[in-house]
């Protein structure tokens, strides 16, 4: 097994097929295919299922993604260790984040980091469920995770960065009476737009409603977080959303209020114990400074 084979395998995974990967790497597709097949022979397992519309990862392929990325990160770290400048070569950072943190604070944080470290390429993944993030970090698929806290007991290290708060957004024209926070009890019997189970946001909201004896009607369940505001504006119901997204919805006509009692949860960067790559170390240091000044 050599670095090129592993790099080619990951390129196919990340670009979604052999032809797009070959184009991105500027290599002939037969060369790429032969290299991946040689890797499969060496591993004794088929990494991709060849189907009519392209390829999909096999079970063995899915299991190999994490170790493959760890291998390339280790090689990059070795190269950096003999590069006294630490800046001449391109670096890569694998970051996995849950949807509720991807936009706020994820997007501005990564944007600020890229401006400060333009030589570092950032790859952002999303887990199938919020809890799945910790498994992806533990198993090496991503070196860093941007996660709500506290964590399940998976032996990961934590760098706490801040607190995220949920607010309520109501359809335009909703009369809430006062301008202050909305008591959770006000939602009894209300139509709510919710996100799927298994997400931090759904868990926090349902736990708070249960604790206050509030029963709501789930009017719409929506996976894409970007659809929450349009659904509220369309009159489908009220929705809990992160404070920054709620503030943005005001300019579009939504009626927005904080919640009483507040719904807050800490968040931070998580990683496996042990030394970080140059790129990951730079990101953690930048994230700390960015949150302290933000």
Q: What share of the chain is helix, strand, coil (3-state, %, to 5)?
A: 45, 25, 30
Q: Is residue 133 part of a domain?
A: no
> What is the average per-residue pLDDT within 80-106?
76
In the predicted model, is pLDDT for residue 215 greater than 90?
A: yes
Q: Is residue 39 part of a domain?
A: yes
The predicted pLDDT at position 107 comes to 94
Of 26-30, 97-101, 258-262, 290-294, which one has max mean pLDDT? 258-262
The predicted pLDDT at position 55 comes to 85
* Residue 222, domain extent: 164-265
The more confident residue out of 80 and 54 is 54
The predicted pLDDT at position 83 comes to 58
The predicted pLDDT at position 85 comes to 52
The more confident residue out of 73 and 162 is 162
> What is the average per-residue pLDDT within 7-30?
88
The percentage of the chain sitting over the pLDDT mark of 90, rounded to a whole number, equals 49
Q: Is residue 146 part of a domain?
A: no
Beta bridge partners of 36: none
What is the residue-averaged pLDDT of the chain?
89
Which CATH number belongs to the domain containing residue 46 in this structure? 1.10.10.10
> What is the average per-residue pLDDT within 12-27?
88
> What is the average per-residue pLDDT within 104-131?
91
Q: Is residue 48 part of a domain?
A: yes
Burial class (CB in 10 A: 0-12, 13-18, 19+), 51: exposed
What 71-74 contacts at long range (C-beta under 8 Å, 24+ apart), as own/partner pairs, is 71/3, 71/6, 72/3, 72/6, 72/7, 72/10, 73/143, 73/277
The answer to whether 272 and 221 are in contact (CB under 8 A) is no
CA 26-66-159 angle, to 5 degrees, is 110
Question: Among 84, 101, 129, where does a domain finish?
Answer: 84
Domain count for the chain: 2
Which CATH number belongs to the domain containing residue 178 in this structure? 3.40.190.290
In the predicted model, is pLDDT for residue 88 greater than 50?
A: no
Query: In whole angstroms, how far apart are CA 157 and each of 106, 132, 193?
Result: 19, 16, 34
pLDDT in tens, 143-181: 999 999 988 777 899 999 999 999 999 999 999 987 889
In the predicted model, is pLDDT for residue 133 greater than 80?
A: yes
Q: Is residue 288 part of a domain?
A: no
The predicted pLDDT at position 256 comes to 96
The predicted pLDDT at position 128 comes to 83
Question: Among 28, 63, 84, where does a domain finish?
Answer: 84
In the predicted model, is pLDDT for residue 231 greater than 60?
A: yes
Q: Is residue 16 part of a domain?
A: yes
Q: Is residue 107 part of a domain?
A: no
Q: Is residue 24 part of a domain?
A: yes
What does pTM read for this prediction? Answer: 0.73
Does residue 6 have a cis bond before it (omega within 30 degrees)? no
Question: Among 84, 117, 147, where does a domain finish?
Answer: 84
> What is the average per-residue pLDDT within 211-215?
95
CB atoms within 10 A of CB 250: 11
> What is the average per-residue pLDDT within 224-248?
94
């Amino acid at each position: 097994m050599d670095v090129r084979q592993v790099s080619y395998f990951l390129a196919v995974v990340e670009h979604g097929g052999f032809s797009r990967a070959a184009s991105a790497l500027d290599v002939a597709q037969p060369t790429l295919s032969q290299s991946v097949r040689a890797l499969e022979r060496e591993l004794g397992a088929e990494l991709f299922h060849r189907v009519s519309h392209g390829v999909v990862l096999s079970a063995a392929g899915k299991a190999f993604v994490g170790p493959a990325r760890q291998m390339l990160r280790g090689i990059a770290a070795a190269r950096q260790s003999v590069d006294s400048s630490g800046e001449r070569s391109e670096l890569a950072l694998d970051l996995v984040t849950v949807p509720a943190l991807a936009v706020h604070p994820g997007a501005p944080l990564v944007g600020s980091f890229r401006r400060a470290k333009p030589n570092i390429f950032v790859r952002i993944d999303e887990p199938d469920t919020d809890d799945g993030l910790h498994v992806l970090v533990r198993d090496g698929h991503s070196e860093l995770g941007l996660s709500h806290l506290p964590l399940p007991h998976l032996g990961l290290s934590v760098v706490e960065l801040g607190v995220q708060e949920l607010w309520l957004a109501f359809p335009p024209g909703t009369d809430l009476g006062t301008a202050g926070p909305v008591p959770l009890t006000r939602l009894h019997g209300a139509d709510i737009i919710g996100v799927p189970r298994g997400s931090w946001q759904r868990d926090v909201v349902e736990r708070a409603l249960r604790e206050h004896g509030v029963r709501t009607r789930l009017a719409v369940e929506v996976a894409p977080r970007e659809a929450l505001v349009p659904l509220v504006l369309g009159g489908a119901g009220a929705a809990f959303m992160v404070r920054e997204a709620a503030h943005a919805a005001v300019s579009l006509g939504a009626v927005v209020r904080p919640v009483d009692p507040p719904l807050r949860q800490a968040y931070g960067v998580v990683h496996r114990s042990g030394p970080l790559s140059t790129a990951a170390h730079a990101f953690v240091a930048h994230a700390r400074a960015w949150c302290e000044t933000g």
